Every structure is written in structure tokens, then in C-alpha cells.
Structure 1
Amino acid sequence: MTEAKLGNSRNKSALQTPNNSQKRAARRRPRRRLLRIGVGLLLLLIISGIAAGWLVHRGGQVRTHLTSSSALLGELRTQLLQGDTAAAEGTFSELQREVSIARAAGTDPLWRAASYIPFVGANFSAVSEVTVSADDVVNRAVAPLLVDSAALDWAALAPVNGQVNIAPLERIAPKLSAAADTVRLSHERLSQIDVGELLPQVAAPLQQAVDALEQADTALGAAAAAAEVLPTMLGSEGPREYLVLVQNSAEIRATGGIPGALAVVRANEGRIELGAQRSATDLESFEPAVIVDPQQAAIYSTRMGRFMQSVNLTPDFPTAATTASEMWELRNDDADIDGVVALDPLALAEILGATGPVELSFSDPAVDRILAESGLPTSLTKDNVVPTLLSDVYAAIDEPALQDQYFAAVAAEVFKALADGQADGADLIRSVLQSSAEGRLFVWSSDDGEQAVLASSAVAGAVTGTTSGGAAFGAYFNDGTGAKMDYYMRRTVQLRRSCTIEGYLQYTLTATLTNTAPADAARSLPEYVTGGGAFGVPAGTVQTNFVGYGPDQALLQTARLNGEPVPLGSYRHGDRPVGVLTTTLAPGETATVELDFTNVVQQSEPSLDVTPTIQPPADVVLPLTGEASCL
């Protein structure tokens, strides 16, 4: 029994104790596992290397072909403006090829997969979006327009013998609208990408693409709106009558300048003609006053409804236009105004750049003789029209009535040059686009449908009711001198972001004003220019009412003048807070006003609208500064 147990024990020990072969096999198993892991890692490294190489290759393709596309797009634009459709078709075919290759590279399955990699994936995704947008713009926006290239003949849009050919506009309108929608959607898609998550090598080109699409969006939106409403506004469905306000920037108003010279333009089936011309002073005071929006009357006074010269104390052009239209109709029983157009001397200068010089003539020989003796030019050009109308005419002519006749002659001759087809079509379109972009050209229609289309364009000039884009700010100026001294004023406007102590985002709207008039302005300048102290402002001194607008729902907090806290008038226009400060500057003096706005809910980049002056906009609006967000 014991021996059996011992035998069993020995057998169990023999079973439990590995022999040499088992020991060798046990030693080989870890090595095999390590070999398999090593081979797997090697394969992974090889695959990763191939994938990385492929991504680098694809990235190079995207960069190369998008760069080429950008250059080709510039060539295409030039060729279209020059009317070289044959060359444009060849360039466009090449452009399509380039964006197609870029999109294929940027939407490659491996590239798409890389967009899910932590930390760096957003860069791959952003590049994909750029290539898709580029392809969409070329094939869905540009291609349909090129099919009907005859309708893109810019020269055909200029009047000839007083007639505008509106048929091409009617034909191209649906395609322009579709193209504008495509560009707008692409711009919105790229604008939503957070550049803060991207590498600089990706963020910079992305921002360039966003900026380019923003410019294209603005231009195409204006073109689409024009093509949609211009045929009917030019009388395709019946005669139209428009009141034209020539805004004199020498006496500043919120939309540009005092509307001193007035004219009526009639349109019927594309034919345009100049009607009555009058001075704003001819209309005299309105008693009782024309009824205006009470909110705006509280800010700008009831003068808005009493004097044609004051209708645009408000920066809201639809309000100014409806008030001016009613005033004209009250003083002219047979008038039926269908719309209002406003432009300033710098917009006239751009038109003269397209038409070339115009020669002035006067129907009254006595006036002709007086003006000839004044030394004022009888030939006006793009270069001399602004100083002539805003300064020289006051130094040369004492009588306001004769000044008005000179202004009327200028308006009539510029209109005649346009109507007779003296303007180059492409140059005319460029001048109109530039003037509207700079806020020097406004249009309002009494037709609700047309006005709804205009409301989305740069020429609308509305300051309330818009909801798209980032936080909207406004900096506007109104003369308080009662004279023509704004020719000597220089201004800059800037937005600055900062964080309050509580950690909320704050915007400071800053305007700096300088009176550059000569030190002896009270004696050396005409009394009509200085005002002669008639309204309580010493001759040579300039008084300005600065009006600052914040975004919807924002709060106006504090105001400073030259760094010192000051009380201010605080109002609301719609849902926008409005602050008003007054500066009074003798020759050589400078003042800086600041308004602080908080509770700004819009997160995207803010916009800043500013009263157009005789200065180039780039000299007036300074770049945004400060923190992008607050903790």
C-alpha cells in the first residue's frame, strides 16, 4: 500500500516536472510572441510611414493646385472685365482642372480619416473644407455665369444715347442669384472653422480663403441684387421717378454730407432723363414737420422732419430717404417719387474716372460771366472735382445762389456724360462698386419687394433690423457748426476689445478728431465756410456731434473725452444702444472720444460702419485690437 502510494507520488512528480524539450519549448514561446509583436510594429511603422508620405504628397498637391487656382481666378476676372471671352474660356477650363485635383487630394479617404486624429485632425478637416469650397465656387458659381458670357458684357450696362439695355440683366439675374448663394454658403462654412485649433501653416491660408470669399460674397451679392431690381427700377414695368441727393461732405451728416443739391431722374423702359433740379434751401422749413420715428427724433431732434438739409442726421438711410421723398412731394404737387439715391462728391469723382472730363456750361450769360471771372474750372475731372466742390467754390463765389447754380451745372453735365454713353462700362461698374463699398452711394425704393432685395446690399444703409454677421458697431458724425468746415477735419475710428474685472467682453469705440484748418481760419476763410459764429460756434472752430452705435442688446457703459470720464446722451435706436458726445475744436486742436459697450452676445468678428468723409476709408478705420475672448 505504501509502495503504491510512493509510486503514485513518483508518477505525479514525473508528470509535474517538465523535461528538457518542454523547457526549450517554453523558452521559445516568449520569443515567438516578441517576434510577432516586432513584426507587427514593423508593419505598423511601414504602413504609418506610407500613410504619412501619402498625406504629405496629398498636402503638396492641395497647396500647389490651390495656389495655381488663385492665380487663374485673377486672370479670369481680368479677361472677363476686358470682354475677352475666348481667353476666359481657356482659363476657366484650366481652373476647373486645378480645383478638381485639389478637391480630390483634400477629400482623399486617407485624408478624411486623418481628420479624426486627436489634436491635429482639425487641420486636415479644415483643408478638406477649403478644397470643397473652391470646387463649389468654380463649378457652381462661376461656370453657370460663363455659359451666358454675353450677359457679362460690362460695356453693355453703360447707357447709350440715354438708354440702358436691360435685357441682359433680366437674363443673367437668376444665375447671379444662384452664384451669390453658393459663394455665401461657402463663406459661411469656412468662417465657422475655429482657426485657434489650427497650425499656423493651415490657419493663414484658411483666413486668406475666408477673406477672398467675403469680397466675392459682397461683390456677387451686390451684382445679384442689382440684376434683380434694376430692370423694374429702370422702368421695365412702367415709368419711375427718383429723387437724387448730392451730399456735400464739407458739412458732415451721418450718411456723408448735407443734401444741398437735389435733382429728379426719370426712367422708362431703360431710358433715363434728368428732370427738375433745386437747392435744398429752396424747400424752406416744413411746418408742421414731417413725422419721423420718435426714437430717432429723440436722438437727432425734430430738425429731421423740418429741413431737407437735416433728413440724414440719422445714419439710417431708409429713414432719411422716406423723409426726403415726402418733403419733395409736399413741395411739388405733380411729383410721385419711386425711390431716392444719394451720393457724395467722391462718388462723383469715381464716375468722372469712368466718363472722363466734363465741360460745364450755364444757360444764363450773366451767371456764365460771373463764374468765368471766379477762376473756377469749367472742365471737371476725377482729380479736381472734390476740392472744387468742397472748398474752392466757397472761396471763389460769395453768393449761395450762384454756388447752387455751379453745383447744378456739375450734376447736369455728369448725368449727361453718363446718359450719352461717355463712360467706359467696366470702369463705371468698378466706380459704382467702390462707392457703394465705401458708403458713398445709397439707394432706397418705395416698392416693398425691391427694397427687400436692396436691404441685403451695401447700398441700403440701414442700421437696424439686420441680424447676420458679427457684432455691429457704428461711428457717425454730424456737423454742429452750421458751416462748411468739415473739409478741414481729419478723423480716425477704431474698435478695441478688452475684458472687464468680472471677465466679460467689452468693446471700446474710439474716435479721434482733428481740426486742420489754418490758424487764422477766422480771417482767411470765407464767412460762408466758417459760419461766422452765427450758431454760437466761433469762426474757424468746428463743432461735431459724434454718435456711437453698439450692437443689438448691448449695454452702453461709460464715455470719456480725452481720457477723462464725461456724461453723455444715452439713447436706443431699435435694440441698439446709442451714445452722443460733442467736440468743439479750434484750428490745430485734437479730441479723442471713447464709448464702452458690454453684454455683446455676438461671437464672430465685429463690423464697424463709419460716416464716409473726404478721407480714404483705410485712413479712417483702424484695425481691431485687443483680446478675442475672456475667461
Structure 2
Amino acid sequence: MIAAVVWVGVKANTIKSALDSAAGLVPQLKQEIVASDAQSASSTVMQLREYTSSARQATEDPVWTLASVVPWIGPNMSAVSEVSRSADDVASLGLIPLVKVYESLNWDALVPSPSGADIEPLKIAAPSVASSAYAVRASSDRLERIDTTLLLPQVAGPLNQAIDELKQASSALSSAADAASIAPAMLGAEGPKNYLLVIQNNAEARASGGIPGALAVLTLEDGRLSLGAQSSASDVGTFTPSFPVDLQQQQIYSTRLGKYMQDVNLTPDFPTAAGTAQAMWEKKTGQRVDGVISIDPVALSYILQATGPVAINGPELAVVKSAGLPNELTGSNVVQTLLSDVYAKIQQPKLQDAYFSGVAKEIFSALSKGKGEGKALVAGITRGAEEGRILLWSATADQQSVLSKYSISGSVSGPSVSPAQFGVYFNDGTGAKMDYYVKRTVQLIKECPADGYEQTTVRVTSTNTAPRDAATSLPAYVTGGGAFGVPPGTVQTNIVVYGPVQATVESAKVDGQRTPFAPYIHASRPVGVVSQQLTPGESRSVDLTFGKIVQHTEPNLVVTPTVQPVKDVILPNENATCGDR
């Protein structure tokens, strides 16, 4: 008996040492992957596998297995066995295949170029990435099924840490597997794909970012990118009768959603906006596009940081060159140029449209020529997508089903929406370009529970930073000139706030005083709308309180991407002081 106890102790030390050594290699492996050092990463993974294999073999020892059924200590030993098996499965079935295909991927070769991006390695890698994702997900699920209430703290602590790390790894790998499964076809590997490119103008807010301005058809074929027909939202015209939109959204946002291209994204639900935009484009031009891509000038700045400056010298820009706008656009000047300077220096809307179209042509021409470093470009596009500045919709159902899992889909319902998600969206009511001057912060305040339910207040603070003499110092095209009943220099905004599914919107306040609001329902989510006007220099806070919240997870927040950095808009959550109850 004593010998068996000693033997188990020896095995326990072996397992602990092996798992500690394997864990110690993980940061090194991450650094090697980030540095694209595939050879070193492969070597590190093989060392890691040696350690996990050693730990697994130790747990399969007959004495260890027998001791695992002993009351009290048995569950702890079984948990250690599961951790060891999972670690070895992750190494052998997850990491080793993944690193092997990673070696074959050349990020620069995936960047569009005149000869086309090399998509074949991505197609070849897709099954291995999917297999790796499955192995890690299975290991994560297996560990989550362990009852930690029976475990010693020395075992439960590392187990919970392993579960958290595997969840993160599983999420990342599942995303990679999904991307690898649809990216080749969407990049034109199976035939050319045409996408309607919509550049949203954040100077005039719409729920998903800004009013659609410049439009173009973006064609992808075997990784080659080309920009086809260019137009503007105003050129698409008015549709009577309007395109049908579901009744819930029509009640909130009116039939304008289906009447004007400029208003398709009054709704924050991008699949709705994109599907309508596709139908409008087909009705206007006869061309049915395969999807819709939306991007804003801030995201363009991220792309220009990767490609470097682009010269503005197209023949179609000759008329506006004399306006004194920059001869080249960079990541530093493109936002101010497109959202402010162009209106100050070019008065005619048609020439403004020409400038926007010319800029889009030059930027995507740089992309089509493979200008810029691959990883930097991927990083810029990823950042834009994470901030909601790049949105993507596919008309192919299977592809859209995958996209709907992620925030890049811009959906207000479905798998991409977390259980306790709030959404704050802004729609311009000025009919002008004054949102360039509005600074906002948004914060969630968790109130004291009521009647057994969670309560949360969404606080939106807005400031009109336009100059005091904006009515006369800014162009009428920027202020609106009072054409829609809003005094020049004043900004009118419809603030639209979504709560979690099945909750209710209880009340609204402006600067602490109760105010009327319009309550709606969209996709089983409560919606509250408050209209607000701000004169130059004026600041106000709008609070919308949601109750009957059944979700007990930590709430999160999605907001309309504006000219401001998202990190400056979304403030940390705050908890009310509730006291003993």
C-alpha cells in the first residue's frame, strides 16, 4: 500500500513537471507565430508534444488508473488525467497540423496583385484548420464537463485556467476555420465575384456608420481585385413604390429604408440594409451583385497605413484639384479630408461625389497592385471589422450563414449577438454633415435588480463641438442651412438604443429629467428612440433604462462607429451601489 502511494506521488510529480514545461512553451509559440517564424514554431510544437505525451502516459499507468476510483482523491486524479489527455490532444491533433499548414501560407501572397493572390494554399489548409478547431473544441468541452466542486483547490485552479485558455483557442480556431471555408470562393477562386462597395460617410450619421456616399462595383477573381462601375447613392435615385422591409423595422425607421439608397442603413441591421442596397442596384443598373461591402473613411485610413500614401491624380479629379485639397492621401489626413475639408473647399455636391469616387478608385487601385505589406493590411482590415467600420454581406446563403456568426455581418440578432448585448445607434436628423463635430460617450450602468430581474441604464452623452458661429462660418451644405427645420449649426440626432432579447425599455431621461421616448420591438429586442438637438457648444446626456433583463451575463455594448476612436466612445461599465437587500 505504501509503495502504491509513493508510486502515485512519483507519477504526480512527473505529470506536474511535464504540464508545467508544456505550458511554459506556449508564450514562446505565440511569439514565433506572430513573427511568422514557422520553422521555430514547428520545433517548439514538437517539444511541447513531448511533454504532453509524457504527462498523458503517466496518467495511463495502471496504479494511477486504479487510484482514480478511490473516494475523495479519485476525482482529483481523474481531473488531472483529463487535463493531460486534453493537452496531448490539443498538441497532437490541434497544434501540429496547424503549424504544418501555417508553414505553407504566405501572407504577402494572399494580398491582391495584378497577377492575382495565391489562394490555393488557403484552400489546401482549410481541412486541417477545421480539424484542428474540432480537436481543440472537443478538448475544451471535455474539461468543462468536469465537476469542479469535488476537486482540491490545487487541482481546480489549474483546471479552470486550462478551460479558459482552451475556450480562447477554440474561438480563434473556429473563426479561422470558418474564414478558410468561405474565403476562397468569396475571393473569386471559383469564378468572378462582384460586390457593391459602399463608402459610408460618418459626417452624416446612419445607424451602421454614415450615409452611403460613393458606390462602386468591386470584382474579385482568383485574388485579382478591380474596381468597375462607379456611382453615388444620390445617382441611384428614388424608388416608388419603395422596396419592402419587414414591418418592425418600417415602424422604427419608416419606409425610407426601401426608398433611398442614402437611407438603407437607417437600420443597424446590415443584412437588411445590404439586401435592400443589392435590390436597388439591380433595379437601377440591371446588375445583380454577389454581396455588399461597406467601409468608412476611418477604415480607409487603416488600409492607407499599410499601403502607404496614394496620389490623387486621376483625370476625373482635374476639376477639383484647384480647390487646394491634398495631392496625396495618407492614413493621417484621409479622414479629415473626406469628412470635413472636401465640404469646405468644394461647394457643388456633384464635384464632391466626383472627388469621393476618385479617391476610392486610387485607394483600391493601390490595393489591386499589391501595394503594402500583407500582414499590416490584414491587421488594418481586421481592426476596421472589429470596430464595425467594415461590414460584409453575401447573397449566397451558405456564406452568409457563416458570416452571421461574426460582428462583421452587422446583425442585430442571431449568433453574433451576445446574450446581454446593448446597441446604441445614431441617425442624423439634420440632413447635413454636422456629425463630424459631435463627440459622444456611451456607458452601461448596472442598476440594482428589481423584482428578481437585472436592470441597466444606457447613458449617451453628446457634445456639439462646432464653432459658435457655425451657422455662418460653415458651408450651408455642412449645416443644412435650415432646409429640414433644424437651425444652421444645430445638430439633430435620433438616438436609437437596443436592449437584450425579452427585456423592456422602462424610461428615458435627458440630463436627469424624464422625457418622452418612442418604444419599439425589433427581433425580440426592446428599442427606445429619443430625438435630440444640440446647439454649438451644448452637451447633453440621455439615459434609457432597461428592465426585466433575464440574462445574468456581463453586458456588452455595440455602437455606431463615428469619427472618434471607438475606445474613446465606449466607457467602462459602472455598477450602481445597491446595499443589502
Q: Same-fold call, TM > 0.5? A: yes
TM superposition shift of 1:226: 2.5
Task: State whether residues 406 and 416 of structure 2, in contact with CA within 8 Å, keep that contact through their aligned partners in structure 1.
Answer: no
TM superposition shift of 1:472: 2.3
Pick aligned residue for 2:28 from 72, 75, 91: 72
Alignment of 1:299-338 (within 5 A): 299-333=252-286, 335-338=287-290
SS of corresponding position for 2:322? helix
Structure 2 equivalent of residue 539 of structure 1: 488
Pick aligned residue for 2:309 from 335, 349, 357: 357
| Worse-superposed segment, 230-239 or 318-327 | 230-239
Task: Spell out, residue by residue over 1:160-179, the C-alpha distance to the aligned partner (whole angstroms, 9 max, x if none).
Answer: 21522221221112222233
Task: State whether residues 19 and 51 of structure 2, in contact with CA within 8 Å, keep that contact through their aligned partners in structure 1.
Answer: no
**Partners of 1:484 and 1:56 in 2: CA distance:** 67
SS of corresponding position for 2:35? helix
**Partners of 1:453 and 1:569 in 2: CA distance:** 34
Structure 1 equivalent of residue 178 of structure 2: 225
**Partners of 1:248 and 1:360 in 2: CA distance:** 19
Structure 2 equivalent of residue 473 of structure 1: 422
Ranges in structure 2 where 5+ consecutive residues have no aligned partner: none
Distance 1:50 1:166, change over 3 A: closer
Distance 1:627 1:65, change over 3 A: farther
Distance 1:128 1:531, change over 3 A: farther
| Worse-superposed segment, 591-600 or 301-310 | 591-600
TM-score (norm 2): 0.87
Equivalent AA in structure 2 for residue 239 of structure 1? P
Task: Spell out, residue by residue over 1:13-54, the C-alpha distance to the aligned partner (whole angstroms, 9 max, x if none).
Answer: xxxxxxxxxxxxxxxxxxxxxxxxxxxxxx99xx99999999
TM superposition shift of 1:321: 0.3
Distance 1:580 1:198, change over 3 A: farther
**Partners of 2:152 and 2:466 in 1: CA distance:** 50
Distance 1:321 1:502, change over 3 A: same
Structure 2 equivalent of residue 293 of structure 1: 246
SS of corresponding position for 2:493? strand
Distance 1:387 1:116, change over 3 A: farther
Task: State whether residues 59 and 105 of structure 1, in contact with CA within 8 Å, keep that contact through their aligned partners in structure 2.
Answer: no
Tell me how many residue pairs correspond in the alignment.
Answer: 577
Q: Are 1:344 and 2:296 an aligned pair?
A: yes
Task: Spell out, residue by residue over 1:473-516, the C-alpha distance to the aligned partner (whole angstroms, 9 max, x if none).
Answer: 21111111111111222222222223334342212222222222
Distance 1:106 1:347, change over 3 A: farther
TM superposition shift of 1:215: 5.6
SS of corresponding position for 1:618? helix
Structure 2 equivalent of residue 460 of structure 1: 409
Task: State whether residues 496 and 508 of structure 1, in contact with CA within 8 Å, keep that contact through their aligned partners in structure 2.
Answer: yes
**Partners of 2:565 and 2:157 in 1: CA distance:** 27
Alignment of 1:396-435 (within 5 A): 396-435=345-384
Task: State whether residues 162 and 272 of structure 1, in contact with CA within 8 Å, keep that contact through their aligned partners in structure 2.
Answer: no
Task: State whether residues 472 and 551 of structure 1, in contact with CA within 8 Å, keep that contact through their aligned partners in structure 2.
Answer: yes
Structure 2 equivalent of residue 380 of structure 1: 329
TM-score (norm 1): 0.81
Structure 2 equivalent of residue 26 of structure 1: none
Q: Are 1:277 and 2:233 an aligned pair?
A: no
| Worse-superposed segment, 409-418 or 220-229 | 220-229
SS of corresponding position for 2:203? coil
Q: Are 1:512 and 2:465 an aligned pair?
A: no
Task: State whether residues 151 and 171 of structure 1, in contact with CA within 8 Å, keep that contact through their aligned partners in structure 2.
Answer: no
**Partners of 2:327 and 2:307 in 1: CA distance:** 16
Distance 1:89 1:57, change over 3 A: closer
Pick aligned residue for 1:524 from 465, 470, 473: 473
Structure 1 equivalent of residue 570 of structure 2: 621
Structure 2 equivalent of residue 237 of structure 1: 190
Pick aligned residue for 2:447 from 484, 487, 498: 498
Distance 1:51 1:346, change over 3 A: same
TM superposition shift of 1:136: 4.6
TM superposition shift of 1:449: 1.4
TM superposition shift of 1:99: 5.5
**Partners of 1:136 and 1:468 in 2: CA distance:** 31
Pick aligned residue for 1:163 from 105, 116, 120: 116
**Partners of 1:113 and 1:628 in 2: CA distance:** 47
Task: Spell out, residue by residue over 1:82-121, the C-alpha distance to the aligned partner (whole angstroms, 9 max, x if none).
Answer: xx322222232234345567778999969x9799869xx9
Task: State whether residues 329 and 337 of structure 1, in contact with CA within 8 Å, keep that contact through their aligned partners in structure 2.
Answer: yes
TM superposition shift of 1:138: 3.9
Alignment of 1:95-114 (within 5 A): 95-97=48-50
Task: State whether residues 76 and 92 of structure 1, in contact with CA within 8 Å, keep that contact through their aligned partners in structure 2.
Answer: no
Structure 2 equivalent of residue 600 of structure 1: 549
Structure 1 equivalent of residue 200 of structure 2: 247
Equivalent AA in structure 2 for residue 377 of structure 1? P
**Partners of 2:136 and 2:346 in 1: CA distance:** 51
Identity of aligned residues (%): 48
Task: State whether residues 517 and 530 of structure 2, in contact with CA within 8 Å, keep that contact through their aligned partners in structure 1.
Answer: yes
Ranges in structure 1 where 5+ consecutive residues have no aligned partner: 1-42
Distance 1:148 1:594, change over 3 A: same
